[in-house]
Structure 1
Amino acid sequence: MRKKVTIVGAGNVGATAAHWIAAKELADVVLIDVIEGVPQGKALDLSQAMPIEKRDCSIVGTNDYADTANSDIVVITAGIARKPGMSRDDLLNTNFKIMSEVVEKVVKASPNTILIIVSNPLDAMAQTAFKKAGLPRERVIGMAGVLDSARFRTFIAEELKVSVENVTAFVLGGHGDTMVPLSRYSTMAGIPITELIEPTRLKELETRTANGGAEIVKHLKTGSAYYAPSAAAVEMVEAILKDKKKILPCAAYLQGEYGISGLYVGVPCKLGAKGLEQIIEIKLTAEEQTALNKSAEAVRELCTVIGVA
Structure 2
Amino acid sequence: MRSKISVIGAGFVGSTLVQRLAERDYADVVMFDIVPNMPQGKALDILEAGPVIGYDSLVTGTNDYADTANSDIVVITSGFPRKPGMTRDDLLKKNQEIVSQVTEQVVKNSPNCIIIVVTNPLDAMAQIALHTSGFPRERVIGMAGVLDTARFRTFIAQEVGASVRDVQAYVLGGHGDTMVPLARMCTVAGVPISQLISAQRIEEIVQRTRDGGAEIVKLLGTGSAYFAPSASVLQMVDSILLDKKMIMPCAVYLQGEYGINNLYVGVPAQLGARGVEKVIEVTLSAEEQALLNKSASAVQELVKVMGL
Q: Normalising TM by the smaller chain, what interval?
A: over 0.9
The residue aligned with 1:291 is 291
Matches within 5 A, 1:37-76: 37-76=37-76
Which amino acid letter does the alignment assign opposite residue 178 of structure 1?
Answer: T
Deviation at 1:24, TM superposition (A): 1.5
- Aligned partners of 1:26 and 1:184: how far apart in 2? 37
User: What does the per-residue CA deviation read over 1:270-290, in whole Å, with 9 as the maximum and x for residues that have no partner?
Assistant: 000000000000000000000
The residue aligned with 1:275 is 275
- Aligned partners of 1:103 and 1:251: how far apart in 2? 17
Which amino acid letter does the alignment assign opposite residue 117 of structure 2?
Answer: I
SS in 2 for 1:184: helix
User: What does the per-residue CA deviation read over 1:224-282, in whole Å, with 9 as the maximum and x for residues that have no partner?
Assistant: 00000011011000100000000010000000000000100000000000000000000
Which amino acid letter does the alignment assign opposite residue 304 of structure 2?
Answer: T
The answer to whether the 8 Å contact 1:147/1:229 transfers is yes
Matches within 5 A, 1:149-228: 149-228=149-228
The residue aligned with 1:239 is 239
The residue aligned with 2:81 is 81
- Aligned partners of 1:162 and 1:5: how far apart in 2? 35
Stretches of structure 1 lacking an aligned partner (at least 5 in a row): none
SS in 1 for 2:294: helix
User: What does the per-residue CA deviation read over 1:66-89, in whole Å, with 9 as the maximum and x for residues that have no partner?
Assistant: 000000000000000000011101
Deviation at 1:26, TM superposition (A): 2.8
- Aligned partners of 1:212 and 1:34: how far apart in 2? 29
Deviation at 1:25, TM superposition (A): 1.3
The answer to whether the 8 Å contact 1:74/1:115 transfers is yes
| Structure 1 runs, 4 residues or longer, greater than 4 Å off | none
- Aligned partners of 1:133 and 1:154: how far apart in 2? 35
Does 1:253 pair with 2:253? yes
The residue aligned with 2:32 is 32
Which amino acid letter does the alignment assign opposite residue 173 of structure 1?
Answer: G
SS in 2 for 1:252: strand
- Aligned partners of 1:28 and 1:185: how far apart in 2? 38
Does 1:106 pair with 2:106? yes
- Aligned partners of 2:179 and 2:26: how far apart in 1? 31
Deviation at 1:23, TM superposition (A): 1.2
For normalisation by structure 1, the TM-score amounts to: 0.99
- Aligned partners of 1:247 and 1:192: how far apart in 2? 20
The residue aligned with 1:90 is 90
SS in 1 for 2:292: helix
- Aligned partners of 1:247 and 1:190: how far apart in 2? 18
Matches within 5 A, 1:15-30: 15-30=15-30
RMSD value over aligned CA atoms? 0.5
SS in 1 for 2:185: strand
- Aligned partners of 1:195 and 1:280: how far apart in 2? 26
The residue aligned with 2:123 is 123
The answer to whether the 8 Å contact 1:42/1:61 transfers is yes
The answer to whether the 8 Å contact 1:26/1:238 transfers is no
Deviation at 1:20, TM superposition (A): 0.8
> What is the percent sequence identity of the aligned residues?
62
- Aligned partners of 1:213 and 1:13: how far apart in 2? 13
